[in-house]
Amino acid sequence: MSETYDPVRIGIVSVSDRASSGVYEDKGLPALRDWLTRALRNPITFEPRLIPDEKDRISAALVDLVDQVGCHLVLTTGGTGPARRDVTPEATLAVADKEMPGFGEQMRQISLRFVPTAILSRQVAVIRGEALVINLPGQPKSIQETLEGLKDEAGKAVVPGIFAAVPYCIDLIGGPYLETNDEVCKAFRPKSAVRPPRAA
């Protein structure tokens, strides 16, 4: 007997002046698509956007993905450092109903295991309507590390990744029930919030 899973629409946004103008190939969108496809059992419709480091353009893309397209999860990559053109956090906060600071705190904790410059990252996460919007780092390796967490040689989680908390957060704001592939990232929910498998 097969199980059925809620379909989910996910916005993936890569913020880069050079990639958006064709100077080099964007690596952020493929990295996000690949990881989410491995991590989630749900059928996913991706809504990709590749845009320059411009605050108004980023904010407009986030509003469109949540309010018009109907995404319940939006992940951005790029534009979260201290450089003058790095404005993704400001653009994200500008369209927020609520800020979710724990996501940024945990991402920096994970990155600090590798580089002291992790304290320069300014990723934020917010709620807009019934959607969770999370800023991720720009490098594909860092994207995976922050989403998935750190594991020891036996595959046991040493530091939890942020995605473990994403499905329950989306439950709480009225989104679809996300189910993860535990070998990639095991979602955490209180026992009272776990839904039994549904037969197809």
Residue 76 has pLDDT above 90, yes or no: yes
Question: For the segment 175-186, what is each residue's pLDDT rounded down to a tens digit?
Answer: 999 999 998 999
Residues 125/100, Cβ–Cβ less than 8 Å: yes
Indicate which CATH number applies to the domain containing 25.
Answer: 3.40.980.10
Q: What ranges make up the beta strands (E) of the chain? A: 3-4, 8-15, 44-51, 73-77, 98-99, 125-128, 131-136, 149-151, 157-160, 198-199
Which structure tokens are listed for 114?
């590798």
Domain hosting 57: range is: 3-199
The number of folded domains in the chain is: 1
pLDDT of residue 131: 98
What is the separation of C-alpha 91 from the centre of its chain, rounded to a whole number of angstroms?
16
- Provide the pLDDT confidence category of residue 160 given band limits of 50, 70 and 90: confident
Q: What is the pLDDT of residue 200?
A: 64
Q: Distances in Å between the alpha carbon of 189 and those of 10, 18, 51, 68, 156?
A: 20, 40, 34, 29, 18
Question: Hunting for tokens 């964007």 — which residue is that?
Answer: 26
Q: What is the pLDDT of residues 91-125, one digit of tens each?
A: 999 999 999 999 999 999 999 998 999 999 999 99
**Positive or negative torsion for Cα 135, 140, 146, 147:** positive
